[in-house]
Chain A
Amino acid sequence: MKRMLAGLPLVLAAILGAFFLWGLDPERDPNDIPSVLISHPVPEFALDPVPGLDVPGLATADLSGNPGPVVVNVFASWCVPCKAEHAVLSRFVERDGVRLLGINYKDKPEDALRWLAELGNPYSAIGSDLDGRAGIEWGISGVPETFIVGGDGTVLYRYVGPIVGEDAVAKFTLALQQAQGGLS
């Protein structure tokens, strides 16, 4: 018994070692968290507009048959990084003419209204996902998350977290350009 106990650390270390050996495979990139949606059609969902807001709601049908790629952003007024990201997204809309669509995730309509009134509304359509069902369909891991959807309704790219800071903006811009280039 005592012998087995004394050998236990060695066995555990050996098991961990085997995992490490596997993990060293140069093909593996731990930074890459893929989305199962990439190159699949957008999931089935239909969201009502945010009551009191002058833009329409969002549903699967709105995402296909567009002339070019569109950007779908999942946001909430309670999400602090979303506030920082808002400026970047607005700039994409104003400067590059990107068509930006929003999913307002688990957010009270009145809070969302106040938030958009204060910061401005760059979204041309916003679906109110009060119970978070659409969020599950989209497989989001948190807010904010941003997707690029091709004109035919195929999910092309997913960005997890706020698009804030030069690196993030450059990355997203590149993905956007690729999406636009691939269709024109």
Chain B
Amino acid sequence: MIPEIGHFSLALALALAIVQSVLPILGASRGNVVWMQSAQSSAMGQVVFVGLAFAALMRSFVVSDFTVLNVVENSHSLKPMLFKIAGTWGSHEGSLLLWVLILAVFGAGVALFGSNIPAATKARVLSVQAWISVGFLSFLLFTSNPFERVFPPPANGNDLNPLLQDVGLAMHPPLLYFGYVGFSIVFSFAVAALLEGRVDAAWARWVRPWTLAAWMSLTAGIALGSWWAYYELGWGGWWFWDPVENVSFMPWLMGTALLHSAIVTEKRDAFKSWTILLAILTFSLSLLGTFIVRSGLLTSVHAFAVDPERGLYILGLLGLSIGGSLALYAWRAPEMEGGGLFRPVSREAGLLLNNLILAAATGTVLFGTLYPLLLEALTGDKISVGPPFFNAAFVPMMLVLVLFMGIGPFLSWKRADIGGVLQRVRFVALLCLAATLMLWYVQTGAPVLAYVAVAAALWLLFATLREWALRIKLFDAPLSESARRARALPRASHGMTLAHAGLAVVILGMVGSSAWKSEEIAFVRPGDRIEIAGFEVLFEGVEKRRGPNYLADQGRLKVWRNGSYVTTLFPERRSYPVARSTTTESAIRSTLAGDLYASITEPASDTAAKGGAWTLRILYEPLVNLLWIGAGLLVLGGALSLSDRRLRVGAPRRARRPQPQPAE
């Protein structure tokens, strides 16, 4: 009965979405307040009904209701409760339901918190949001019903893919989707602005909190996914340039560009059509990700079951939403421009450069991801594009970006004094150079690019801190004066400092863990010793262990450093009899300096289980934890910026310069 309630709720949500997609926008063009107001309640209604459907599906998973096909295919009665719950979004159908739920949440968010938005604009935004809802709710209901029943019900389920039975991954899709789908509301704002033919500073301020919220979730989601790959896949890598990773990374790059260009629109009333285009493209790339993951278009390690019919349906949705919005853009964007003029050296120019590089980087990732498809379509050749391409094309772009990122915040609006800026960062540059040379002296042997990257990251870190210190006159004024200035500084400004520093920390983690990584692969018998990066590792043997729904071979490794005992590691190889697959559970000793990472794979021969040799893989990854710490700083910086007074209050602050006028 409860699954049917869920199914019915979805149908009701679709009906509401259809009404919301027509009535408010008509009301906005006719000046009918009641019609405009209807969006308010229908947006709330949608979130209630989709939420109900989601709860119904989750309940089926929690109680292991094996009359529901989705539960049979993705759950098992012996599975731990957390993973039963996570199974709700572990399948194509369930994750799409989560997608639609988040879509509704953002719509309701605007309905609830958007009291500072004019009624007509709000009505248009919510109608556009409802267009997306109609598309995806109908997709869900007509091609991917999560409440499908089976008869007769089987005694037990098929289990969720064991690789996905992991705490990190249980939380990964919700965060990622919150980011992906969060950009939908920014898209709706952009389309509404195109329909109205008006973009101004106020518009940029309305979309900022939503962009920030989506960007933060996406950042956290990507970091979590990368962390999962790091400790679960057993290779010790954290990024593989896999198509599915790339499609989550592209909206992030575009979203980052959008965050920055929207600042110019807000403060200087410029870059308007560019900001709108970025808003459309960011969500388009999110949709593209949804499409690629669910259509089997490209080869990847983690895709959903392939169904060409579904692929066609999503492609149709993509055509309508992306094609429609870009056509609207082509029609309306040329009419809106104007805004402030600026010199080639100014904060505007700096942010423009940021946008150009980020857009080029996104283009590169897009091209690399789709190249196998394009080539196959044109010549029939089948190839795959691997990390070498991406590293060669992407890394230099990022280095240039980071170089200018250090200077950018020093630049003033309209025209900046480059001489003065260079003078202020001269000390920072020297400091980086000295630190890098010292590193070179202590740690020779890494590729030149690694030292360049370290220098770039240090440059960004120091320059960012220097800019912050200058703003609050740290060390130039009494500490109490600095503290007063720090309090007076807008939180968005602190947020920027934190996020930029966070990126520097991430880069340090990336370089440290790839350029200075040590790796040993060995066949070991109990009693064998291995030396790596100053550690001595003793393999004591393997024991069998039984988990709730798996069997494990657990290795035992004692670790010493300089003769003193450090820790014991227990890497595991788990086999899941129901899902008929195996996973590696690596054992990691984590410190800020680096991770000692061990995993056991195949027994080296059939006799291994009886005391023979095992394949042991040990890695030492210096600084790898800076990746997650830096990602945390990025998110924290976003959160600080989100809590800025001007976004909370909504009313423009009393500013020194006159308020920007609406365009045209």
Contacts and interface: CB of A to CB of B under 8 A. Distances in A.
Asked if A and B are interacting partners, one says yes
Interface of A: 2-3, 6-7, 9-10, 13-14, 16-17, 19-26, 28, 30-34, 80, 83-84, 87-88, 90-91, 94-95, 119, 164-166
B224 to A, nearest CB: 25
Interface of B: 273, 277, 280-281, 284, 291, 295-299, 308, 311-312, 315, 318-319, 322-323, 326-327, 329-331, 333-334, 370, 372-374, 376-377, 382-384, 519, 521, 523, 581-582, 601-602, 604-606, 613, 615
B277 A9 contact: yes
A88 B602 CA distance: 9
29 contacts: A3-B334, A6-B329, A6-B330, A6-B331, A9-B277, A9-B329, A9-B330, A10-B326, A13-B323, A13-B326, A17-B315, A17-B318, A17-B322, A19-B370, A20-B297, A24-B312, A24-B315, A26-B308, A30-B297, A30-B298, A30-B299, A30-B382, A33-B382, A84-B601, A87-B523, A87-B605, A95-B606, A119-B523, A166-B581
Nearest to B306: A26
Contacts, number: 99
Contacts of A21: 315
Given A10-B323, A30-B299, A19 B601 contact: no
A2 B327 CA distance: 14
A90 B605 contact: yes
A129 to B, nearest CB: 22
B163 to A, nearest CB: 12
Contact of A17 (B281, B323, B605): B323
Contacts of A164: 601-602
Contact of A10 (B297, B329, B374, B613): B329
Contacts of B323: 10, 13-14, 17
Nearest to B327: A10
Nearest to A32: B382
A21 B277 CA distance: 24
A24 B311 CA distance: 7
Interface majority SS (helix, strand, loop, mixed), chain A: helix
Given A9-B326, A87-B602, A166 B318 contact: no
Nearest to B363: A12
B347 to A, nearest CB: 24
Contacts of A20: 291, 295, 297, 315, 318, 373
Contacts of B382: 30, 32-34
Q: 5 nearest interchain CB pairs?
A: A7-B330, A10-B326, A87-B604, A26-B308, A30-B299
A87 B615 contact: yes
A24 B384 contact: no
B577 to A, nearest CB: 13
A25 B309 CA distance: 10
Nearest to A24: B311
Interface majority SS (helix, strand, loop, mixed), chain B: helix
Contacts of A30: 296-299, 372-373, 376, 382
Given A23-B297, A23-B377, A84-B615, A3 B602 contact: no
A32 B315 CA distance: 23
Given A9-B281, A17-B323, A26-B308, A3 B384 contact: no
A84 B298 contact: no
A19 B308 contact: no
A166 B370 CA distance: 30
Q: Among the interface residues B284, B330, B372, which one has the most CB atoms of the partner chain A within 10 A? A: B330
A33 B375 CA distance: 13
A80 B619 CA distance: 13
Contacts of A95: 606
A32 B381 CA distance: 11
A32 B323 CA distance: 31
Nearest to B277: A9
A30 B615 CA distance: 31
B385 to A, nearest CB: 12
A91 to B, nearest CB: 6
Contacts of B521: 80, 83-84
A119 B613 CA distance: 12
B475 to A, nearest CB: 48
Contacts of B582: 165-166
A34 B384 CA distance: 12
A14 B291 CA distance: 15
Contacts of B523: 87, 119
B601 A31 contact: no
B327 to A, nearest CB: 6
A124 to B, nearest CB: 19
B373 A19 contact: yes
A21 B297 CA distance: 10
Nearest to A95: B606
A158 B291 CA distance: 31
B651 to A, nearest CB: 33
Contact of B519 (A32, A80, A119, A166): A80
A17 B319 CA distance: 7
Given A20-B295, A87-B605, 9 more contacts: A6-B329, A6-B330, A10-B329, A20-B291, A20-B297, A24-B297, A30-B298, A30-B382, A166-B582
